[in-house]
Structure 1
């Protein structure tokens, strides 16, 4: 590519050719650099009359690529630009030596980054829309530090404050202060544990002295709020008063049609409608120059949200379908279905004395299994039937009978669902493991065929599983109701082992979207266009385009339960499990698009009819406050009202697990649970990890050590589920 040199007063013969120019504008701005299509294109330097300067890459009249912008007050930004915005990795150094190094999105600190404040404070961690948000560490200049979760620039969630004198607080935080369960420890070993609150009447805790301490506690817990935290104020740092995207330029950028006067124009960028031309304009002066007013940070954020260069996902909700093919006479598995139903009816219907929830160790013994022969003509213990002869085995029948009692499953209803006149339905294709799935006609239960290795894992972990689900009634792990084996007579017939589980998606709400989420990226994309996504399509991590906002009480309960469940699975050396999430959109337009709403979750409506999709103009529902039956059905992971905020992925970050929030929210009902919990980290998984690690990023693959898997899974889940404030 040749570059011609042209002075300011020379005429450019071919606008499409790249020239090196010097431009002196009437407003005393100066540009020197590469020029094409009547605007900067390539490398160039622009000097504004007020002293601001940009040196770097340009594309079609906008700063784009690597560059450096400097302010007359001495502040500088050096890093990535995109369409005139600070976007990508970059470093900002303020006039007072306030420094930020990290990720930017549309002029805002967003992603991972570290900031050194002018007063000596330091923060390193995650950012969102210009504020600490997510996991991060803040260290004050006096030596105090906080390590934990943040939300909107304040300590929020689980975290630890360590004071310079050695004292520390571990526990829950809310809006910058301890709130909820926590422990305050003194350097001498004594500690104060319980419920914390700024309001004395809400605080309840117990003091435990150290071994070397004598006497009682001469200390008021409110001192933590009044004294210990008094110096721990978060610095807001130095503001940027004008951004390169807000500076006046002297040429029409592509798509503008006129000089860039820094107004919000009527346009549609990446699917975001900006409406009519706004009277809101930005003053290009800067407070550090002593001219003009400070740019409103909220307006900058609003402009950044609306002017995203992303393409909004186009969501179309199709009519829901019933899963599976009914197993009728002539189906290859028809006799197997009959055998399953006969065996289950025999097992569940057999008389048994009332059982206590306190089971003896012998109940979990693998030898506690019963083989029963089912001849067609019947026997002393079995009825006659029209199927072939088969043998039936129950594994640990007393344990599963007690589990059904624990899960409040009525035996009669259980038998009607599984063994009634209605046939089972077989899902169209086997799972990744080769297992087949069957659904009862009422959708309450799922039957999964199992490999021998999976049966061994379930039997091995059964005592711990029983204790876990007994201790946590809101556990999200799969509910198991029975473990059986069938062997039909005849040459070549193999044993068919199967487990009966609760169907997570048995709900009166229509499930419009479903996601199987592991927290890994390799192979976690369905690659299906929107037009091919059905209500029964199971999408994966890289298909996820939402984050879910829960009410405060549910969010804290959710976080606690996920931690408990993951700890249990980690202890049992289980990996490769998933969070299965089903979404019901409460309001859908006539064209099949979910409606953008921002209703308070406490005002959520009860379901209409059978949960079919509603539309604009639909009749209003009854007040949920009087619908006690509906409220009674709301459990953690079951029929939970929430907000789903739409996210989009940047063009250069398609492999990111979580996209950028757009502010576009939908009223939804969620169902979710942890599934596929029978894969231990055996030799085959270790070999799979070793092999894939040679070809892919080891952190992106699913087959990893259970401890690593648990931590990665939690980190991911706590990023896509958030507190609705």
Structure 2
């Protein structure tokens, strides 16, 4: 009888949690909460952001029967918390997002749940207009983001050229004794542009291969060893774009290192323009001739958020409100693969809310006992930033040679020779592109690809 009573009480709790944790109820609560907080924020006068604004938390209760402040709804009672509302209002203004656009994108139509939650277990929603991503985050991640806000504020004021996430809001839905924290960010991979390849890259080689389960997906997210095997000659970029991207990665890595952040990734979505054209021609569609880009028959509207496309992120120039009549205005970075096929790259640094805390130090120490410590993903922030930048700027992205682009062997670093980057000194853009130096410490050798037979699905 005593056990039955415990299970009965536990069942009531689970039922209460189910009222809010079901997808439709959670999405409804998020939309109600954001509608209220943005509306109430519009009544507050515009002013400069103060230090105390980063630590403000506002809370409003939403009973299902409604109140004098909130409408009636059918999602069950819940409480909605808004973190640093004045500060995030400033961030949205900085990115050119008007309050009515923000509300219309997130609250006018149902949110779309993405089917690939990722290894972190987070739930992802995208707005119906493809503009914003909503991600659930853990308590420690939300807490860490709050601590980052003053430094994030300073960085955005000083530099629009960044691949770091654009944070537009931090909220919490409370129901049934459970807290569900969410962050609103820019959408890196627009659904209207089909991605032919997708990579989550850290610069690590330890167990960095997509699992068999991941490979079964229509567009699996591959990892570092997969990239080195699939594209051993890297992705070719025009010199100006390569220099801009390298400098942006360097600045972002230095900032992340200063906050003792590690275990972040570079998310790379690749749209193959020529492959998409061949598919359309094969399907009897003559549109999209050579020289034009039509990633999808549905032409998306221009980005509402400035500095949010891949090209804007490395150039620091806002072009998001232009007309969509050329490939650069799709927001992707133009590139080519080793076959000479035209690509559009959609990239951004993700998962930055991991600080090098004690548990991460233990994790690295344990992995270092069973494997080469310098190849595992969990590492001290300084080493992690240097390895990350070196991998991206020498193995993943290569500078195309204008004089003879057909000579692929000269288009970047080989597998036994890589370009030396001055970490923390002169930016990559300022260094000579005509010299390569052998350095055994910086080599990513082919035997790593052949010997690695990892099939684990966990995020390393």
Q: Secondary structure at the match of 2:374?
A: helix
User: What is the match of residue 339 of structure 1?
Assistant: 29
- Offset at 1:408? 1.2
Q: Secondary structure at the match of 1:587?
A: helix
User: What is the match of residue 186 of structure 2?
Assistant: 502
Asked if the contact 2:31–2:106 (Cα under 8 Å) also holds between the matched residues in 1, the reply is yes
Asked if the contact 2:133–2:185 (Cα under 8 Å) also holds between the matched residues in 1, the reply is yes
User: What is the match of residue 297 of structure 2?
Assistant: 610
Cα–Cα, structure 1 residues 556 and 447, in superposed 2: closer, same or farther, change >3 Å?
same
Q: Which has the higher helix share?
A: 2
Q: Secondary structure at the match of 2:348?
A: strand
For 1:592-619, what per-residue CA distance to the aligned partner results, in whole angstroms no more than 9, with x for missing partners? 6999xxxxxxx9534365379xxxxxxx
Write the distance in 1 (CA, Å) between the matches of 2:129 and 2:30.
17
Whether 1:514 aligns to 2:198 is yes
Give TM-score, length-normalised by structure 1. 0.45
For 1:183-237, what per-residue CA distance to the aligned partner results, in whole angstroms no more than 9, with x for missing partners? xxxxxxxxxxxxxxxxxxxxxxxxxxxxxxxxxxxxxxxxxxxxxxxxxxxxxxx
Whether 1:410 aligns to 2:98 is yes
Whether 1:677 aligns to 2:352 is yes
Whether 1:721 aligns to 2:415 is no
For 1:538-588, what per-residue CA distance to the aligned partner results, in whole angstroms no more than 9, with x for missing partners? 111111123122222222111111111111100011000011011111112
User: What is the match of residue 363 of structure 1?
Assistant: 53
User: What is the match of residue 133 of structure 2?
Assistant: 446
- Offset at 1:672? 0.4
Write the distance in 1 (CA, Å) between the matches of 2:276 and 2:328.
26
- Offset at 1:506? 1.9
Question: How many residue pairs align between the two structures?
Answer: 348
For 1:390-447, what per-residue CA distance to the aligned partner results, in whole angstroms no more than 9, with x for missing partners? 1111100011111111111122222122112x32232335432332222222322211
User: What is the match of residue 43 of structure 2?
Assistant: 352
Cα–Cα, structure 1 residues 436 and 589, in superposed 2: closer, same or farther, change >3 Å?
closer
Write the distance in 2 (CA, Å) between the matches of 1:400 and 1:455.
14
Q: Secondary structure at the match of 2:274?
A: coil
Write the distance in 2 (CA, Å) between the matches of 1:392 and 1:450.
15
Q: How does 1:198-277 map to 2 (within 5 A)?
A: none
User: What is the match of residue 335 of structure 2?
Assistant: 642
Cα–Cα, structure 1 residues 723 and 452, in superposed 2: closer, same or farther, change >3 Å?
same
Write the distance in 2 (CA, Å) between the matches of 1:566 and 1:455.
21
Q: How does 1:91-110 map to 2 (within 5 A)?
A: none
- Offset at 1:463? 0.8
Whether 1:398 aligns to 2:81 is no
Q: How does 1:65-144 map to 2 (within 5 A)?
A: none
Write the distance in 2 (CA, Å) between the matches of 1:560 and 1:519.
17
Whether 1:629 aligns to 2:323 is yes
Cα–Cα, structure 1 residues 631 and 469, in superposed 2: closer, same or farther, change >3 Å?
farther
Asked if the contact 2:194–2:296 (Cα under 8 Å) also holds between the matched residues in 1, the reply is no
- Offset at 1:695? 0.5
From 160, 171, 177, the equivalent of 1:473 is: 160
Write the distance in 2 (CA, Å) between the matches of 1:416 and 1:714.
38
Write the distance in 2 (CA, Å) between the matches of 1:475 and 1:440.
23
Write the distance in 2 (CA, Å) between the matches of 1:670 and 1:594.
22
Asked if the contact 1:507–1:639 (Cα under 8 Å) also holds between the matched residues in 2, the reply is no
Q: Secondary structure at the match of 2:337?
A: strand
User: What is the match of residue 540 of structure 1?
Assistant: 223
Listed as ranges, the gaps of 5+ residues in structure 2 are: 1-18, 283-289, 300-321, 402-460
Listed as ranges, the gaps of 5+ residues in structure 1 are: 1-328, 596-602, 613-627, 646-663
Write the distance in 2 (CA, Å) between the matches of 1:338 and 1:608.
32
Q: Secondary structure at the match of 1:698?
A: coil
Q: Secondary structure at the match of 2:384?
A: helix
Write the distance in 1 (CA, Å) between the matches of 2:326 and 2:276.
29
Write the distance in 1 (CA, Å) between the matches of 2:174 and 2:137.
14
- Offset at 1:504? 0.3
User: What is the match of residue 386 of structure 2?
Assistant: 711
Give TM-score, length-normalised by structure 2. 0.70
Q: Secondary structure at the match of 2:69?
A: coil
- Offset at 1:724? 1.7
User: What is the match of residue 699 of structure 1?
Assistant: 374
User: What is the match of residue 266 of structure 2?
Assistant: 579
Asked if the contact 1:436–1:448 (Cα under 8 Å) also holds between the matched residues in 2, the reply is yes
For 1:235-289, what per-residue CA distance to the aligned partner results, in whole angstroms no more than 9, with x for missing partners? xxxxxxxxxxxxxxxxxxxxxxxxxxxxxxxxxxxxxxxxxxxxxxxxxxxxxxx
- Offset at 1:716? 0.1
Once the two structures are overlaid, the 10-residue window that deviates more, 436-445 or 572-581, is 436-445
Q: Once superposed, what is the RMSD of the aligned Cα atoms?
A: 2.9
- Offset at 1:503? 1.2
- Offset at 1:502? 1.1
For 1:524-550, what per-residue CA distance to the aligned partner results, in whole angstroms no more than 9, with x for missing partners? 101549984523x11111111231222
Higher relative contact order structure (alpha carbons within 8 Å, sequence separation ≥ 6): 2
User: What is the match of residue 382 of structure 1?
Assistant: 70
Write the distance in 1 (CA, Å) between the matches of 2:190 and 2:263.
24
Asked if the contact 2:262–2:384 (Cα under 8 Å) also holds between the matched residues in 1, the reply is yes
- Offset at 1:331? 8.7
Asked if the contact 2:20–2:75 (Cα under 8 Å) also holds between the matched residues in 1, the reply is no
Q: Secondary structure at the match of 1:588?
A: helix
Write the distance in 2 (CA, Å) between the matches of 1:676 and 1:396.
21
Asked if the contact 1:510–1:611 (Cα under 8 Å) also holds between the matched residues in 2, the reply is no
Cα–Cα, structure 1 residues 464 and 335, in superposed 2: closer, same or farther, change >3 Å?
same
Write the distance in 1 (CA, Å) between the matches of 2:28 and 2:295.
36
Whether 1:560 aligns to 2:254 is no
Asked if the contact 2:132–2:185 (Cα under 8 Å) also holds between the matched residues in 1, the reply is yes
Write the distance in 2 (CA, Å) between the matches of 1:466 and 1:531.
39
Q: Which has the higher strand share?
A: 1
